[in-house]
Amino acid sequence: MCESQFTCASQVSFAGYDLVGVHWFLFMVVLAFALQTSANFIWLRSSQLTREILQRKPHTTDRNNRVRWRIFWELMGTLNWILRITLIIGSNIYIFVVILIGNITGIAWALEQQNEDNTGHVCIGDPAEWNDQMVLNMYTRLEEIQNKKNKKLVL
């Protein structure tokens, strides 16, 4: 047994149970890292879906399908959050450090894996790298601007 559970590396508390043994401690450290890393993937996917949903007209099949997936990811995120909180309640410095490392690793990895935005908006960068949709959007926008200028000149 450890003198202080906060710095103990051979015992961990989870959901009110004291799990004694280095194997339990290591299992919980790995679990904390996996949960925190996955939380970043879930957050990023949820955020992207929310953005995509709000770009579509209400009550369309495409939007409704995305809403269902967004609800699924919200469920996964909430379950993940509950498990992480249960681990944190155990108040162990090593779990806290692993959650911090998992958070940094997870957001870096999730952002690395996320597909590019498909809004078609032109972004700052080399125009030679713009896809067809970006060029079309730029052309359409320039036509709109030109038409507005022409309308102002007509009396």
User: Tell me, what's the pLDDT at 29?
Assistant: 87
Its domain, for residue 87, covers: 5-115
Name the pTM for this structure: 0.62
Check whether residue 36 and residue 13 sit in a common domain: yes
Residue 83 has pLDDT above 80, yes or no: yes
Check whether residue 20 and residue 79 sit in a common domain: yes
Check whether residue 89 and residue 125 sit in a common domain: no
Q: What is the DSSP letter of 6?
A: G
Check whether residue 62 and residue 132 sit in a common domain: no
User: Tell me, what's the pLDDT at 18?
Assistant: 81
Which position has the higher pLDDT, 77 or 111?
A: 77
CB of 46 closer than 8 Å to CB of 70: yes
Check whether residue 11 and residue 81 sit in a common domain: yes
Cα–Cα dist 37/110, whole Å: 8
Check whether residue 105 and residue 145 sit in a common domain: no
Check whether residue 11 and residue 75 sit in a common domain: yes
Residue appearing with tokens 């102002």: 152
58-to-49, 54, 67, 104, 119 alpha-carbon distances in Å: 14, 8, 10, 36, 18
Check whether residue 95 and residue 79 sit in a common domain: yes
Cβ neighbours, 10 Å, residue 85 = 9
Domain count, the chain: 2
